[in-house]
Chains A and B, each alone.
Chain A
Amino acid sequence: MGTTASSPRKKVNRIGLELQPYRGRKTTLCAGCGHNAISERIIDAFFEMGIEPSRVIKLSGIGCSSKSPAYFLGGAHGFNGVHGRMPSIGTGAILANRKMIAIGMSGDGDTGAIGIGQFVHLMRRNLPIIYIIEDNGCYGLTKGQFSPTADLGSKRKTGVVNDLPPVDTCALAIELGASFVARSFSGDKKQLTAVLKAALSHRGTAMVDVISPCVTFNDHVGSTKSYAYARDHDEPLGEINFVPYFEEIDIDYEPGSTQVVKMHDGSQLLLKKLEADYDPTDRLEALRVLHETSRRDEFATGVIYVEPDKIDFIEVLNLVEEPLATLPLERVRPAKAAFDEIMEGHR
């Protein structure tokens, strides 16, 4: 690599933008926080997919995770809502303007506790949105209390042991009919970027749970959400390669060794099988793998379940092509004749 070359031409993506517009403000999260790595991967994925930042809306609830939209895609519109209710804001915003690409940032408390109701119904509706859970098993912003994704037996720094079983957001999402469910690890750069790009190619809700260790409150021996634990217990379902619709496949693979999933936008997800066969389009298989890995105290990562052609909420509601928000008066106010007909009906 020519790292010594002076003033190299800055890299631009397929729409001619440099990386800078994909960056956000300086992070205020702790140094080493998994969430910062996730922000970086989001920047990479949007940059590489060539998505104009101004076409994006960033949404979040409350918590460390929910601060992160400020740290990527500075040119995108953002809405930091209330705790656990980001899905409803996202739903309203996307219905108002279906042309926007929505990314929602949540945490394990924001999703698994206060926001579980909205999470459940978001999964049912298949709204077009990328829903990321930055999952560290604790409430960082209020100093480390256990969240609902903390594993049974996981220890706090104080020695307190979690005595309740965790909510598996991926298994729950699949049960609820989610059409894209993935899990990754903030420390796995390659996999997370591929998963995020696949999420961007998905029609409907792409739910991505990312194990993202909290360096301040949950990165010690005895925690099941520490960096060390996550590295030791990460069980990738296979090697993922993502080929966007605008690129040719230049990856060689032996027939039978790789499963190809065609996304709704024409992109392809190449899943190189490891030991066992794994079919991410099989819902029962997905649930079985989640349960089995969890029984072995491991967590499966990768695209766990995908249903590329499931209709999304926009189609269910049969919305016009144009954004509802800016339809002109004549399309949203019925004519006088219609009004008179209604009045006549009340005589």
Chain B
Amino acid sequence: MLRSAVAAEDAAAKSPAPQVVNDFNIQVATVNGSGSQAANLVLFRSIFQMGIPVSGKNLFPSNIAGLPTWYTIRASKDGYVARKREIDVLVAMNADTARDDVLGLEPGAAVVYDDPMELNALRDDLFFYPVPFDKLIADVCSDAKLRRLVRNVIYDGVLAKLLNISRDQIEMALTKQLGRKVKALALNQAALKSGYDYADEHLTKQDPFVLEPMNQTSGKILIDGNAAAALGAMMAGVTVVAWYPITPSSSLCETLIDYMGKYRIDKETGKATFAVVQAEDEIAAIGMTLGAGWAGARAMTSTSGPGISLMAEFTGLGYYAEVPAVIFDVQRVGPSTGLPTRTAQGDVLSTAVLSHGDTKHLLLLPSSAGECYSMSLKAFDLAERFQTPVFVLSDLDLGMNSWMSEPFEYPTEPLDRGKLLDAETLERLGEWGRYKDVDGDGIAYRSLPGDGMPAYFCRGSGHDSEAHYSERPEDYEENLKRLTTKFDTARDAVPGPVIEREGEGLVGVLAYGSSHWAVLESCDQLNQEAGLALTYCRLRAFPFNGDLTTFIDRCERVYVVEQNRDAQMLSLMRMELTAERIAKLRSVLYFGGLPIDARSITDEILAREGHELAPPNSA
């Protein structure tokens, strides 16, 4: 205690820091499997309850128990929710990483740490708060086995005191987090109190970081993108779900299973209005999805990059045989074991043209939890309208982290089941061919098994407009051209690009998906630091439409921000746009596996625009 007070006084003497209110970044370094996630969410939720915009990001390696994991919580009065690189408050609970964690901090940061680690010896430009966790937990919990699980809640108490979160707020967050686990609640409350009281009696606040209540979160919800997508699927009336577990998409189907079990059981019969199959692999998962889509069900699967690779052949079949399917791809880094718990936008190209032969698929690109919901809903309509597989490209950051969001809207539109053949249509058409373009939009009428309409033989191989086997070059070409017409029809049916910021000059920035939040913040940084007011256009789907070209035409140059190495979206634009427009595009790429941050984008654009690099934003 004395040591820390001295160190803190020294640090304070060197750089008397003004208070920093509602604008800092907390990082908790723990060991996974130690109940730290619950403790982190309590802290996260308490800040949300105080009305302060907050984001939480779990930065975790691929292990289940006993290895390092980090969680960052960013409070931002300005509403920034992207990852922030600089850590302002560190909670060092893991002896294995503590030294590196402390050495990596900017001067002036605060460190709460497990006393025996003596981290205060490492630096003299930080504010140290030692806490004897083992001693405190021994007093709270007599059962040695349980201690490990509630020990982390102590730092919630310590931080509540240090950062100015009221006892009521943090207790409310704890109660909400634990839900109905009554037994666990008492023990956790005691641990929380013990941390709070210890800080109150033994620690003197020296660092500048404090929280003050605001009114920026009222009415909002906290939800992760996977749960949002699951909810969208349920509200879209999904009836067949086939999946294979894979990080980071598993929680999408698991949440969906929970929702469906609760809300989609027929009240009269007690029977399910849905089928969920945990398939033997992703090939079977997409096969079941396509089989169900062919037979008329709203069907989906959810996966990540390795699963997408396995789905390649079937997806091509879906494209050629024209079968609706919704495929959620919660993107992650790398093939095989790669970095399965790290985020990326690495499947843009592979999904856009997945399979062999000439294939092009519809991609939806949600950038928020709200869009994970609304685009999930939309994907089922598009899949049936265009009779084709539709990808929803989320990512680990969006899918697995909790996000603030406005509550979602209850859907009021009826389902768009697309062009289904019925007696009236058959009468009007006179004769029907499964792959005959009678409306000029490239979309033919389809019949379903059991609907009483004429049957057809569905196949991926060469077929004529009547769905009969054919290897005639004319038939094949005609079919491919009609598929192109269909794809062109989709351009204005998918969500179009949106101008998120109107700038002042001729420089634009283009982004999509979870990069959105960092780009918004970067736009502000560029404006504040260099007077550069970019026009920011956010892509929401592939294929592109005229709104994208209009935007590019307005600009002299456009920075395309992506979370991959190979500028995948830019490459896709290269396939679709004219050389003049392509010449205006410049890549800003981040592919470290952590969620992209604003500073990386800002520094890159500033350098390219010929400005001096701004000094690191030390808040």
Chain A residues with a Cβ under 8 A of chain B:
53-55, 57-59, 69-70, 75-82, 85, 87-97, 99-100, 117-118, 120-121, 317-321, 323-327, 329, 331-334, 336, 338-340, 342-343, 346-347
Contact = CB atoms under 8 A, between A and B. Distances in A.
B297 A334 contact: no
A38 to B, nearest CB: 18
A319 to B, nearest CB: 6
8 contacts: A69-B457, A70-B457, A80-B459, A96-B291, A320-B266, A324-B239, A324-B292, A334-B263
A321 B458 contact: no
Given A80-B458, A92-B295, A342 B449 contact: no
Contacts of A78: 455-459
Contacts of B280: 117-118, 120-121
Contacts of A118: 280, 283-284, 287
A275 B263 CA distance: 58
B438 interface: no
Given A75-B455, A82-B314, A329 B237 contact: yes
B295 A96 contact: yes
Interface residues of B, number: 71
Contacts of B293: 92, 96
Nearest to B179: A345
Interface stretch (B391-399, B410-418, B564-572): B410-418
B277 A95 contact: yes
B574 to A, nearest CB: 30
Contacts of A339: 235, 408, 410
A347 B408 CA distance: 12
Contact of A88 (B274, B279, B408, B455): B279
Contact of A96 (B236, B239, B270, B271): B239
Contacts of B269: 320-321
Contacts of A343: 221, 407-408
Given A325-B297, A333-B235, A343-B221, A95 B457 contact: no
Contacts of B286: 88
A80 B264 contact: no
Contacts of B271: 318-321
Interface string B236-247: 111110100000
Nearest to A76: B455
Interface in B446-481: 447-452, 455-461, 469
B275 interface: yes
A57 B259 CA distance: 31
Contacts of B235: 333-334, 339
Contacts of A87: 284, 287
A343 B455 CA distance: 43
A57 B282 CA distance: 24
Given A81-B317, A342-B259, A91 B288 contact: yes
Contact of A331 (B220, B273, B461): B273
B273 A324 contact: yes
Contacts of B296: 96-97, 323, 325-326
Given A95-B240, A347-B221, A100 B287 contact: no
A342 B410 CA distance: 11
Contacts of B59: none
Contacts of B272: 317-320
Given A121-B279, A324-B273, 11 more contacts: A70-B457, A82-B287, A92-B288, A96-B292, A97-B295, A320-B266, A324-B275, A329-B237, A332-B298, A346-B227, A346-B407
Q: Which 3 A-B pairs have the closest CB atoms?
A: A88-B287, A92-B291, A325-B296
